[in-house]
């Protein structure tokens, strides 16, 4: 719906960290030669972890770290400092946030394009020379900026070419696997992790973002039995997420989908019966049969398979065929599943005699 303007390659969190580390090493080499270092600007939508990735990297590497949000700066004095009299001369005192000890360190200028245009003009010299009229960044300090994209619903100040060309640009995008790894390392509620694994499409970038999901999962973590406290769970979901995402989570709780196998498990199963069929039966074959769960998993399998970019191996194709042939999947759901996959490019399924007959029978 929006024509967002991004800059640089679109990467996941791991790729972003590798990029930052490479640029840092290059900058240190340039600094040792008396040459200029180049700041990094990380673009991306709100709530996907731009700031936290930089702060975590600084902690892990033992770097000094200073955070500023120039949108909070009202006057140029917030950036360059305030005048004072010293030996009958007017001098500028650097702001308290300016680092004073040698690095390595990171100065993070967060949400830079939410700053007033006057502040942006003042920052330009800092990006070029790592100094302003009143102060200089200590040796081995690097500058990283974050920014939301222009061209949409963000209240941002466009950056002109003179400012853009003073930085290296890269765009961070949300990736489920990277988020799950982070979530497991940071103690996010396991039910929340399962929910995101099952429904990655709910991360809409509006009210439902990785940040608001983590807030929600932290709020429900003390609730041992979500089903028994569904009213409270719904209120907490509505407080953090958009309506569609909140409804999806309530459905997740009602259907006990935390135990449901994932499309990736189906795709890569080494033992189809043990890894797929038996767990699927356990969840779906209840009285009455859980057609809604079956339909949900089939829909998610379609979405998963049609988003694959690498060639499907013979073993993976066999797993897909075996899943489609599971006897308790209703015929109408099975046909829709097969039709969607073939329409999406998996025409190799028609080479299977049973599946080919099913398609012909329905047609």
pLDDT at 167: 95
- The more confidently predicted of residues 288 and 12 is 12
Asked if residue 292 has pLDDT above 90, the reply is no
pLDDT (tens digit, 9 = 90+) per residue, 40-72? 999 998 888 899 999 999 999 999 999 999 999
CB atoms closer than 10 angstroms to residue 283 = 18
Low-confidence winner among 6-15, 96-105, 154-163 (lowest mean pLDDT): 154-163
Share of the chain above pLDDT 70, in %: 95
Low-confidence winner among 76-80, 247-251, 357-361 (lowest mean pLDDT): 357-361
Confidence category of residue 258, pLDDT binned at 50, 70, 90: low
Asked if residue 235 has pLDDT above 90, the reply is yes
Nearest-angstrom CA–CA distance, 172 and 150: 15
Give the pTM: 0.69
Secondary structure of residue 208 in the 3-state scheme: coil
Which fold is adopted by the domain 10-173?
A: Rossmann fold (3.40.50)
Winning range, highest mean pLDDT, from 19-33, 177-191, 293-307: 19-33
Give, as one character, the DSSP assignment of residue 207.
Answer: S
Q: What angle do CA 241, 44, 304 make, to 5 degrees?
A: 65
Low-confidence winner among 61-70, 269-278, 353-362 (lowest mean pLDDT): 353-362
Asked if residue 362 has pLDDT above 60, the reply is no
Asked if residue 90 has pLDDT above 80, the reply is no
pLDDT at 2: 61
Q: What are the sequence ranges of the domains in the chain?
A: 10-173, 177-257, 260-362
Rounded to 10 degrees, what is the CA torsion of 209, 211, 212, 218? 140
Q: What is the mean pLDDT of residues 207-228?
A: 92
What distances in angstroms separate CA 245 from CA 30, 230, 234, 253, 290, one per listed residue?
Answer: 48, 15, 11, 12, 21
Q: What is the mean pLDDT of residues 91-116?
A: 90
Low-confidence winner among 61-65, 90-94, 126-130, 280-284 (lowest mean pLDDT): 90-94
Is 52 within 8 Å of 93 (Cβ atoms)? no
pLDDT (tens digit, 9 = 90+) per residue, 298-349? 877 887 787 777 888 889 989 998 999 898 998 888 888 888 888 777 777 7
Asked if residue 363 has pLDDT above 70, the reply is no
Nearest-angstrom CA–CA distance, 236 and 249: 11
Mean pLDDT, the chain, whole residue set:
87
Low-confidence winner among 24-33, 68-77, 161-170, 354-363 (lowest mean pLDDT): 354-363
């Amino acid at each position: 719906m929006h024509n967002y303007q991004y800059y640089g390659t679109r990467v996941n969190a791991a790729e972003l960290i590798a990029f930052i580390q490479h640029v840092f090493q290059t900058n240190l080499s340039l600094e040792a030669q008396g040459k200029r270092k180049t700041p990094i600007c990380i673009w991306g939508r709100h709530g996907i972890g731009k700031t936290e990735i930089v702060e975590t990297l600084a902690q892990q590497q033992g770097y000094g770290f200073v955070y500023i949000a120039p949108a909070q700066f009202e006057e140029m004095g917030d950036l360059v400092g305030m005048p004072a009299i010293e030996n009958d001369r007017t001098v500028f005192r650097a702001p308290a946030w300016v680092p004073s000890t040698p690095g390595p360190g990171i100065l993070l200028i967060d949400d830079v394009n939410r700053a007033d245009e006057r502040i942006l003009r003042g920052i330009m010299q800092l990006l070029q020379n790592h100094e302003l009229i009143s102060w200089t960044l200590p040796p081995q300090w690097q500058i990283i900026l974050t920014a939301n994209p222009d061209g949409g619903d963000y209240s941002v100040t466009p950056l002109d070419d003179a400012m853009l060309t003073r930085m290296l640009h890269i765009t961070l995008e949300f990736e489920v696997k990277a988020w799950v790894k982070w979530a497991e390392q940071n103690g996010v509620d396991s039910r929340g992790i399962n929910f995101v694994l099952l429904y990655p499409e709910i991360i809409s970038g509006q009210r439902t973002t990785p940040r608001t999901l983590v807030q929600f999962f932290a709020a429900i973590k003390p609730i041992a039995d979500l089903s028994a406290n569904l009213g409270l769970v719904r209120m907490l979901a509505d407080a953090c997420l958009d309506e569609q995402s909140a409804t999806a989570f309530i459905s997740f709780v009602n259907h006990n989908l935390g135990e449901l196998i994932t499309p990736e498990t189906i795709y890569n199963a080494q033992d189809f019966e043990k890894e797929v069929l038996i767990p699927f039966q356990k969840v779906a074959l209840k009285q009455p049969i859980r057609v809604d769960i079956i339909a949900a998993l089939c829909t998610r399998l379609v979405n998963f398979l049609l988003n694959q970019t690498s060639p499907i191996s013979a073993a993976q194709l066999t797993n897909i065929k075996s899943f489609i042939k599971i006897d308790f999947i209703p015929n109408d759901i099975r046909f829709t599943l097969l039709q969607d996959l073939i329409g999406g490019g998996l025409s190799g399924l028609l080479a299977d005699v049973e599946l080919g007959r099913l398609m012909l029978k329905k047609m």
